Amino acid sequence: MSAVTDTVRVSVAKGGGVGQSIRDSLVIARRNVVRMLRIPEVVVFGLIQPIMFVVLFSYVFGGSISIPGAGISASGYREFLMAGIFAQTVTFAVAGSGAGIADDMHKGLIDRFRSLPMARGAVLTGRTIADLVQTALTLVVLAVVAVIVGWRTHENFGKVLAGFGLLLLLGYAFTWIGALIGLSVRTPEAATSGGLVWLFPLTFISNAFVPSQNMPAFLETIANWNPFSATVQASRQLFGNMPAGYPVPDAWPMQHPVWASLIWSALIVLVFRTLAVRKYRSTSA
């Protein structure tokens, strides 16, 4: 901790404004990445659940769910499914982000950072950047597992990278929701529960696991305008995993999923970063 403190003091001495904010954020991000590497079991346990989802959904539901354009096909459902599993995995980072910030507050580390002449938003920005690094690592491992069970992409390398980029952007946006939750509760356990309780309906009332056309009309509308659904739809298109003849819903986010995903993620970052930084300042006053 003293090394981080000394580094922050040095960064402050070198300049102010945007440059200082960037340097301070990177210092905090480095501190959290180093902490993550020193506790590898956190990363390992974080990988178990998404891997289980890949295996269970692929082999348990693969031959039971009909996908328009692909019918009842294990391989067809597997390709339809993977974008949804990827998106679910990156959004679940909200729980880790919230719990980490709540834990730092509980241990008094946030108070120590507040005593330093550093950019106010740097503590939260650094934390979300570190969470993004962990999410990217998880996504790489998950993609390897998906390939092993038979998932394939059918577009060029640039589009595939763009699909993963949209997924990471959504994950980064959701870590800001986690940051706000972490600042608003008293314990890491409450942050974990608060981060997950609303994620399950968000991810399941979407096009991640079944076509939204199969849902009742009011749920279909919710699913089609769900920010989660937009990123899933965009990733499927960029991966080339949309079945031939798949009927795309008329809702604007489903017709223009890449733009919808970018807009939703940017709005989430803007709104929740503003709220989280304001909460951080008010609790430090």
- Structure confidence by residue, pLDDT tens digits, 136-179: 998 998 999 899 888 999 999 999 999 999 999 999 999 999 99
Q: Are 142 and 54 in contact (CB under 8 A)?
A: yes
Q: Please give the share of the chain, as a percent, with pLDDT higher than 70.
A: 91
Q: Are 196 and 95 in contact (CB under 8 A)?
A: yes
Mean pLDDT over 12-20 rounds to: 60
Q: Are 242 and 268 in contact (CB under 8 A)?
A: no
Q: Which 3-state string (H, E, C) describes 170-228?
A: HHHHHHHHHHHHHHHCCCHHHHHHHHHCCHHHHHHCCCCCCCHHHCCHHHHHHHHCCHH
pTM, 2 dp: 0.87
Higher pLDDT, 71 or 26: 26
Residue 4 has pLDDT above 60, yes or no: no
C-beta atoms surrounding 2 within 10 Å: 6
d(Cα 203, Cα 207) in Å, to the nearest integer?
A: 8
Q: Please give the share of the chain, as a percent, with pLDDT higher than 90.
A: 41
d(Cα 39, Cα 98) in Å, to the nearest integer?
A: 17
Report residue 30: phi and psi, to 5°. -60, -40
